[in-house]
């Protein structure tokens, strides 16, 4: 495809007008101010008038099958939400329901410009099947919970995590990757954390983990281990591998220094943290220390959408109020966190940026709509004025997956029907 005379968010996260961008196979092969002489090799020409081309979003923390629980268990604290609503519902989950619920989240992701998600859950076979048929990317992690500390050889979650890495890491030409994952400190004993850390090193894969999401979690970890969750994970060797640490709301100065030193990516989930009253991640402090901060939605059970434009705006506003500085959280920083830094957190060094030779993971945003006009600064508008429904094209690895209301790889009516059916089936058993 050749994008013609389109606005562009370039590799430096600056904005330029009337640009040409060409893609061949799964790569970006041309970027310039003039039309390429050999334009016929690109096939379809996309008219970019009134449009902006930007990198696709990388959702740095999600639980896709939990779309089944959207709006279920509202107005509860995190612990009550989990123990009274989510865990009992999850106990009734089944293979077919997981498949359709994952596809529903994928469809929503495509609609809002997300081309890859770092996804923690279980029923990995069904999630892989859904991701594979959709054409989207994902870093999946079979999250392990072993709160009673049974021997690691008897822990089904640990066994399934290792098998998922062996079977699916690098699947579909690398579109699907598999990370190691302890759910959290409070759901695992030290031996389990150490075994997961060793597994990540053994297979040279990344790690996904919940970290210091609530004050209760952090205080109870101190009671158990005489240290914070960050200090505990570091002692166990978990941060010796590429790690995505979700939430990181209740960090100490020493925690931030460990995260900086170990190269951990903080995955901030602002809307979920607000909805569950967990707190506010101090992103400006992390930015000031040079720590990579990516943006995640968390699940639709605690958000309740995958609208990354909504997430970017909330992320930016919370950073300003946390720092008491209206000039912090520049639009280019925020967009970079939603795209490039999420890609790097997944270990995808050739993704999340519009640059020659990089993967053609692109979205087109309609700027010729009332909520985007007038335009004084396009980056400001993308962060504070745009909405997910302004996305009119989503491309992953050079293939158009969504365009102008049409899903190219998904039967959206069937997905909605089957997900509703699965939800009702589970509710009847509760």
Retrieve residue 294's tokens. Answer: 């990516």
Pull the structure tokens for residue 400: 């158009």
The structure tokens listed for 188 are 């695992």
| Residue 286 predicted with pLDDT over 90 | yes
Question: Residue 77: what pLDDT?
Answer: 83
CA–CA separation, 371 and 378 (whole Å): 12
* Per-residue pLDDT at 79 exceeds 90: no
Residue with more model confidence, 405 or 82? 405
Sign of CA dihedral 248, 254, 260, 264: negative
Q: Band the pLDDT of 98: cuts 50, 70, 90.
A: very high
Per residue in 360-412, pLDDT tens?
999 999 999 999 999 999 999 999 999 999 999 999 999 999 999 999 999 99
If you average pLDDT over every residue of the chain, what do you get?
A: 97
Residues 307-350 pLDDT 10s: 999 999 999 999 999 999 999 999 999 999 999 999 999 999 99
pLDDT band at 133 (very low <50, low <70, confident <90, very high): very high
**Residue range 191-218: average pLDDT?**
98
SS (H, E, C) 11-52: CCCCEEEEEEEEEECCEEEEEECCCCCCHHHHCCEEECCCEE
Domain ranges of the chain: 2-54+360-407, 57-345
Assigned fold of 57-345 = TIM Barrel (3.20.20)
State how far the Cα of 321 lies from the Cα of 315, in Å rounded to an integer. 10
Q: Are 127 and 102 in contact (CB under 8 A)?
A: yes
Q: What are the DSSP E strand ranges found in 190-273? A: 207-211, 243-247, 265-268
pLDDT attached to residue 430: 93
Taking the C-alpha atoms of residue 32 and residue 34, their distance in angstroms, rounded to an integer, is: 5
Is there a contact between 230 and 259 (Cβ–Cβ < 8 Å)? yes
Spatial distance between the Cα atoms of 249 and 322, rounded to a whole number of angstroms: 12
Whether the predicted pLDDT of 73 surpasses 90: no
- The CATH number corresponding to 2-54+360-407 among 3.40.50.300, 3.40.50.2000, 2.30.40.10, 3.40.630.30 equals 2.30.40.10
Q: What is the mean pLDDT of residues 159-184?
A: 97
Query: Does 120 score more than 90 pLDDT?
Result: yes
78 pLDDT higher than 90: no
Token representation of residue 206 = 């990344």
């Amino acid at each position: 495809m050749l994008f013609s005379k389109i606005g562009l968010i370039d590799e430096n996260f600056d904005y330029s007008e009337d640009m040409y961008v060409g893609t061949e196979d799964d790569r970006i092969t041309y970027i310039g101010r003039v039309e390429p002489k050999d334009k016929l090799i690109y096939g379809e020409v996309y008219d970019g008038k009134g449009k902006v081309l930007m990198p696709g979003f990388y959702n740095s923390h999600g639980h896709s099958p939990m779309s089944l629980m959207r709006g279920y268990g509202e107005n509860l604290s995190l612990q009550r939400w989990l123990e009274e609503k989510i865990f009992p519902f999850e106990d009734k989950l089944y293979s077919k329901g997981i498949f359709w619920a994952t596809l529903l989240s994928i469809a929503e992701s495509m609609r809002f410009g997300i081309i890859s998600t770092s996804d923690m859950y279980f029923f990995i076979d069904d999630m892989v099947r859904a991701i594979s048929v959709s054409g989207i990317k994902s870093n999946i992690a079979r999250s392990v919970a072993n709160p009673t500390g049974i021997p690691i050889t008897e822990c089904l979650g640990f066994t399934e995590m290792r098998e998922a890495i062996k079977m699916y890491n690098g699947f579909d030409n690398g579109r699907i990757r598999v990370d190691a994952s302890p759910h959290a400190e409070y759901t695992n004993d030290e031996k389990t954390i150490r075994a997961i850390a060793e597994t990540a090193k053994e297979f040279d894969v990344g790690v996904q983990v919940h970290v210091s999401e609530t004050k209760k979690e952090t205080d109870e970890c101190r009671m158990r281990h005489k240290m914070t969750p960050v200090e505990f994970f570091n002692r166990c060797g978990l941060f010796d591998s590429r790690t995505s640490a979700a939430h990181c709301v209740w960090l100490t100065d020493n925690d931030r220094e460990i995260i900086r030193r170990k190269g951990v990516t903080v995955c901030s989930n602002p809307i979920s943290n607000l909805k569950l009253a967990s707190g506010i991640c101090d992103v400006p402090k992390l930015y000031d220390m040079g720590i990579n901060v990516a943006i995640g939605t968390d699940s639709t059970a605690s958000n309740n959408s995958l609208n990354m434009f909504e997430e970017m705006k909330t992320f930016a506003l919370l950073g300003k109020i946390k720092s008491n500085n209206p000039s912090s959280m520049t639009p280019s920083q925020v967009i970079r966190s939603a795209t490039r830094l999420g890609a790097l957190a997944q270990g995808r060094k050739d993704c999340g940026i519009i640059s020659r030779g990089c993967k053609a993971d692109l979205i087109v945003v309609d700027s010729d709509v009332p909520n985007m006009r007038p335009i004084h600064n396009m980056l400001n508008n993308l962060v504070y004025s745009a909405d997910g429904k302004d996305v009119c094209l989503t491309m992953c690895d050079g293939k158009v997956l969504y365009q102008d209301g049409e899903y190219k790889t998904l039967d959206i009516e069937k997905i909605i029907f089957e997900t509703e059916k699965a939800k009702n089936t589970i509710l009847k058993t509760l």
